[in-house]
Structures are given as C-alpha cells and as structure tokens.
Structure 1
C-alpha cells in the first residue's frame, strides 16, 4: 500500500524557509520518498512504517527528518533541482 502526504518543512539543509515537501511511503518495500519544492527527490529505504507515521504526526517535520530519517537510513537522490 502506498501512502501519500504533504507537509511544510522549516528551513532545512540550506533550503528556503517553509519549504513545501511531498512524501509517500510504500509499506511493501519500506521506502519513504521525499520530494522537496525545489524538485529534489530522495528515496529512503528500510524505513519502518512507525517512523513514517511519527513523521506525519510530528510538530516539526524538519526536526524529525534531521533526527530520525536523514543519515539514519540508506538513501539516494533520484531527482535533482528543477532548472
């Protein structure tokens, strides 16, 4: 099952403040896809469902991403910035 969400991310990794971010989660592959307003897209693998649910419930998406996702799970950038 593929889950989708959209939330706003505070200033984060040199990106503009209140950056809009889309996310989706595939429970069958435990893959979290994160698409930033800039067009950058990242796939995080081996992410447990509870981490995705906690991200969606967190008050600060940016803090949760920094503390619990970025550099905690294997990832790859699959799309660079829009030109």
Structure 2
C-alpha cells in the first residue's frame, strides 16, 4: 500500500481512535474548530478551521474558513522567525 495515499486526520476525536496525528491541528481553539479534509493524502494541514458560533470569518471571500495548509505554513514562519501575514 502506498502510504502517500493515506489521509492524515489532525482534528480531535471524542472517542479513542489510534491516530498518531490526532489533535495536532493549529486552529485557534477559542474561536474555531477543526474539520478534516479528506483526499489530500499524507500531508499536514489536511483540515480547515471553521468559526465557532458567535464568531465570523474576517475577510469577504467566498471561502468562510482558514485552510489548514495555510495555517501550518504561517505557524512554520513564526517558528522560523520569518515574516507572516
């Protein structure tokens, strides 16, 4: 089996599921929640951060969530002391 074809789920799960990547998302936990995006394969950032009730996406876009790959890239920039958005 090709490991690159497997999806990574970084979102939390209410029940015990053997998953080494569980709850490793970078969504802001106070105002958003993680939703897995299937079909991206074995890559980090295969999730989206959707706003909790009472919060709203700050930009006027047709997309109303933060893409996990963008969140992971910005986090990497912060860690490596590079400019961020």
TM over 0.5: no
Higher strand proportion: 1
Higher helix proportion: 1
TM-score by length of 1: 0.31
TM-score by length of 2: 0.30
